[in-house]
């Protein structure tokens, strides 16, 4: 991550200027969310986190559902820095994986940086494409899909556009 911000946080009033952060996300099989380890006292944490997890197929079939990553500050007080929402539906359009930068948005809608996430399914999802087409507008109970999510969390404080050095870094990783 780069330039994670505690801007607008009550913690900045208490002289906590540098975050100690981790990231969490919910799975279909665990009662509590999966967490990365905490990287302490830096606004540029590097997690190098990889996780195999089962996610609800509703994340692919329901156009109103997304996979949500929560970025946390874990210090004397725990608080959510913000959320990043990842639409998994491109996986049903033939994409082999999803890899990109997503805004980290706080409760007031302010951007607190970006997060890079890469997700790839462990098995073919084409049968779900047919199911999505067959049930448009029909709500049915969800089942499980196995997904491998290779996650890293570089972030930038800019919200409108990536700074040029970061954009070159992303282009180099995706090439």
pLDDT in tens, 130-167: 788 777 755 545 555 555 544 433 332 333 334 344 44
Mean pLDDT over each residue of the chain, to the nearest integer: 75
Q: Residue 14: pLDDT above 70?
A: no
- Tell me what the mean pLDDT of segment 120-127 comes to: 85
pLDDT tens-digit map of 61-103? 888 999 999 999 987 888 999 999 999 999 988 889 999 999 9
3-state secondary structure at position 108: coil
CA distances from 53 to 25, 97, 122, 149, 165 (A): 10, 15, 10, 7, 32
Predicted TM-score (pTM) of the model is: 0.73
Q: Decide which of 89 and 126 is more confident.
A: 89
């Amino acid at each position: 991550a780069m330039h994670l911000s505690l801007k607008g946080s009550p913690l900045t009033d208490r002289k906590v200027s540098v975050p100690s952060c981790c990231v969490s996300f919910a799975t279909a099989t665990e009662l509590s969310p999966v967490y990365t380890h905490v990287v302490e006292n830096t606004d540029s944490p590097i997690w190098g986190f990889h996780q195999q997890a089962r996610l609800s197929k509703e994340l692919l079939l329901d156009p109103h559902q997304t996979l949500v990553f929560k970025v946390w500050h874990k210090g004397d007080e725990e608080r959510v820095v913000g959320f990043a929402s990842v639409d998994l539906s491109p996986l049903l359009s033939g994409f082999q994986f999803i890899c990109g930068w997503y805004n980290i948005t706080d409760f007031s809608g302010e951007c607190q940086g970006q997060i890079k996430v890469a997700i790839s399914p462990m098995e073919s999802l084409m049968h779900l494409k047919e199911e999505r087409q067959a049930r448009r507008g029909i709500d049915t109970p969800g089942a499980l899909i196995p997904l491998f999510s290779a996650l890293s969390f570089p972030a930038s404080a800019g919200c409108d556009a990536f700074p040029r050095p970061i954009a070159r870094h992303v282009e180099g990783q995706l090439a």
